[in-house]
DNA sequence: TCCCAGGTCCTGA
DNA sequence: TCAGGACATGGG
């Protein structure tokens, strides 16, 4: 990988397995907007960046080399070799197709708190609506970051702001019945911050058990949090899409979510999380099982 | 109008 | 343990 700083942009070259559309639209992140020029504007880590790809070069606007090295390199999981992951997973026809379709997916390293709240909001909700609720919460409770391309951007709210928020104000953001859960979770995170911010060093089972003590976090949401912000890649979150694609292609359609998760975790081992992302993106983009 | 969405909680057996 | 209904909201 090579990084060059040129006037208003960073140009990343010699970087394989990086496809902005696949990275952002595979369901792991909610704070992105697709622009008219097919680039993606992202809010993360209290910053706004614009990412696109032209030929084999990745272009990052509104950033600098220092931020890239200190923040975005880790965020985009640049040090992970995805060609190795893909070749290991590539041992049946279904995965082969899914990987080919979703080539360039990377699992982002996102912040624990943001993932906990985001996936509490995801329960029984649609992705566009989840994005809207998070955007509303950020506007109401986050900090103004900057104006970029004549749009205003706000950071994800701090834990304290949401912990002290009124339920009515959170509900105004269209969070519905999840409003109370958002506030309760924020309060619990403040109380348990020594535990929450050390979950990465705990085992998968310990993390799962702990997260499920939150109101609004069940098996699926807990596994998403572990996968997207705590580097637990041996997990296979099962949602409606993954259930459908698995029941269509791998298991009997009577299989329950927990059985599906265990089946996949046994099959894909420590690469289960990556397999899940390829299958989710493949299923959703192609309406498989629907 | 009804059904469903990256589910979870609560209740009753 | 486990099925079944409730839950806010909005799009199809």
Cβ neighbourhood burial of A281 (10 Å; 0-12, 13-18, 19+): buried
A167 CB less than 7 Å from any atom of strand B: no
A71 CB less than 7 Å from any atom of strand B: no
A83 CB less than 7 Å from any atom of strand B: no
CA A230 → C1' B10, Å?
30
Pick out residues whose CB falls under 7 Å from strand C: A 124-126, 128-129, 171, 174, 176-177, 256
pLDDT in tens, A266-279: 999 999 999 999 99
Q: What pLDDT sits at residue A120?
A: 98
CA A215 → C1' B9, Å?
8
Q: What pTM was estimated for this model as a whole? A: 0.97
Sign of the alpha-carbon torsion through A93, A94, A97, A99: negative
CA A241 → C1' B10, Å?
26
Burial track A55-73 (b if 16+ CB lie within 10 A, e otherwise): eeebbbbbbeeebbeebbb
Q: How far apart are CA A170 and CA A163, in angstroms?
A: 11
CA A85 → C1' B9, Å?
37
Q: Which portions of chain A are predicted below pLDDT 50?
A: none
Q: What pLDDT sits at residue A28?
A: 97
CA A72 → C1' B3, Å?
41
**Strand C positions with any atom < 7 Å from protein CB?**
3, 7-11
CA A162 → C1' B6, Å?
23
Q: What pLDDT sits at residue A217?
A: 98
A273 CB less than 7 Å from any atom of strand B: no
A221 CB less than 7 Å from any atom of strand B: yes
- The residues with which A46 forms a beta bridge, in sequence order, are none
CA A199 → C1' C9, Å?
33
Q: What pLDDT sits at residue A91?
A: 87
In chain A, the N- to C-terminal Cα span, in Å, equals 40
A125 CB less than 7 Å from any atom of strand B: yes
Q: What pLDDT sits at residue A289?
A: 77
**Strand B positions with any atom < 7 Å from protein CB?**
4-10
Which domains, ranges and CATH numbers included, belong to chain A? 2-79 (3.30.310.260), 81-106+232-290 (1.10.1670.10), 112-229 (1.10.340.30)
Count of CB atoms situated within 10 Å of the CB of A270:
14
pLDDT in tens, A115-172: 999 999 999 999 999 999 999 999 999 999 999 999 999 999 999 999 999 999 999 9
């Amino acid at each position: 990988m090579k990084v060059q700083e040129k006037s208003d942009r960073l140009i990343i070259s010699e970087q394989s397995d990086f496809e902005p559309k696949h990275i952002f639209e595979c369901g792991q992140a909610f704070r992105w907007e697709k622009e008219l020029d097919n680039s993606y504007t992202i809010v993360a880590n209290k910053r706004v960046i614009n990412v696109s790809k032209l030929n084999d070069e990745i272009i990052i606007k509104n950033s600098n080399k220092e931020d890239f090295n200190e923040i975005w390199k880790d965020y985009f999981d640049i040090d992970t070799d995805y060609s190795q992951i893909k070749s290991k997973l590539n041992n049946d026809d279904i995965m082969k197709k899914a990987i080919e379709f979703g080539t360039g997916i990377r699992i982002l390293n996102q912040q624990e708190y943001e993932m906990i709240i985001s996936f509490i909001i995801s329960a029984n909700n649609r992705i566009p609506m989840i994005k809207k609720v998070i955007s509303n919460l950020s506007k109401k409770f986050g900090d103004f970051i900057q104006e970029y391309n004549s749009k205003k951007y706000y950071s994800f709210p701090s834990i304290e702001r949401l912990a002290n928020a009124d339920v009515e104000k959170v509900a105004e953001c269209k969070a519905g019945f999840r409003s109370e859960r958002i506030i309760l979770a924020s309060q619990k995170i403040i109380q348990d911050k020594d535990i929450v911010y050390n979950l990465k060093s705990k085992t998968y089972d310990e993390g799962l058990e702990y997260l499920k003590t939150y109101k609004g976090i069940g098996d699926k949401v807990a596994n998403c949090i572990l996968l997207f912000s705590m580097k637990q890649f041996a997990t296979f979150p099962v949602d409606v899409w993954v259930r459908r694609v698995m029941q269509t292609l791998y298991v009997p359609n009577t299989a329950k979510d927990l059985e599906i998760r265990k089946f996949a975790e046994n099959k894909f081992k420590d690469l289960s999380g990556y397999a899940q992302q390829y299958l989710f993106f493949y299923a959703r983009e192609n309406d498989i099982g629907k």
